[in-house]
Amino acid sequence: MNITTQQLNRHEVLKNRTSSSEKIFSACCGAVATMLFVNPFDLVKTRLQENVDMRNEGRYAGTVDGLVKIVRNEGPFALWRGLSPGLVMAIPSTTLYYVGYDQLKARFEGTSMDKYSPLWIGGAARAMTALVVSPMELFRTRLQSSEGMGGFNDAWLGVTKMVRQEGVLTLWRGLLPTMLRDVPFSAIYWMMYEEMKNQCLDKENPLTGWQQFQFSFFAGATSGTVAAVVTTPMDVIKTRRQVSSSREREIMHLIRSIAYKEGVSGFFRGVVPRVVKVSIASGIMISSYEVGKHFFAHRQMIALDTVQD
């Protein structure tokens, strides 16, 4: 059945008025699905990036080698190490990030700032999120590192020892490189995604639920891939900063150390599992979120049509 212009306009209004609770539910579903699927790649990425001293040099030859060796030496469930704190971190952070982005974008829609709003709103939403979840991300990173091979208790003892020695603010260790990684990532990601929506979608013919999923997954994965490659150097620095317990591991020291010992390639250590993880995660997350909003908007439209009939 064809959708009339009046129905289309009503659909767009309802879609923009999807309630905050419906957006939060959509974001939570996407966060859980994403974490379950990409956690193994995140684990391998962390192990590759922390691989800095001579004792560990060459421990993992690459992404596949890392996955195989982790399963063989630590068991298959080790691939989901860090999942619990990851979910605790992902659900509120994803909700804050996606719903916050939507609210800010709607506020500036139609204004002089609308054209480039995805660029700065995406960065602003990510900055707020990183500030809130940085301590949990630090713990999760250490749990996924070699320090966490002994389990939750070893990672917890490492963090508590670090807090006793350096103070509670050390829980935000890695916040600056996290910001330098995540803010430009989000700016690039949302600008590309929104531009693809504007160029590829026909506003006269709204997508079905399945079409919405396909487009959102492709556009999200593509945007996430580009943003992930560009920001990998700061991801390496962030990981090294968080798994180190030494005071001397400042950002400039890390940059000089990586450049001297490993060259340019050192800044892209773990880029393959990171890109795989981020591209898939971006595709799953944005498609789940968009399809969720599409579902609730469509349900409201059907209910409205029923009342009017």
Q: How far apart are CA 205 and CA 282, in angstroms?
A: 25
The mean per-residue pLDDT over the stretch 98-114 comes to: 84
The mean per-residue pLDDT over the stretch 136-151 comes to: 76
pLDDT in tens, 85-97: 778 778 888 888 9
pTM here is: 0.75
Looking at 121-130, 197-206, 249-258, 285-294, which range is the least confident one?
197-206
Percent over 90 (pLDDT), the chain: 21
Q: How far apart are CA 159 and CA 182, in angstroms?
A: 23
The mean per-residue pLDDT over the stretch 208-236 comes to: 91
Domains (range + CATH), the chain = 15-306 (1.50.40.10)
Q: How far apart are CA 209 and CA 290, in angstroms?
A: 9
pLDDT at 230: 94
pLDDT at 5: 43
CA angle centred on 303, ends 16 and 295, rounded to 5° = 50
pLDDT at 216: 92
* DSSP codes of every residue in 69-104: HHHHHH-GGGGGTTHHHHHHHHHHHHHHHHHHHHHH
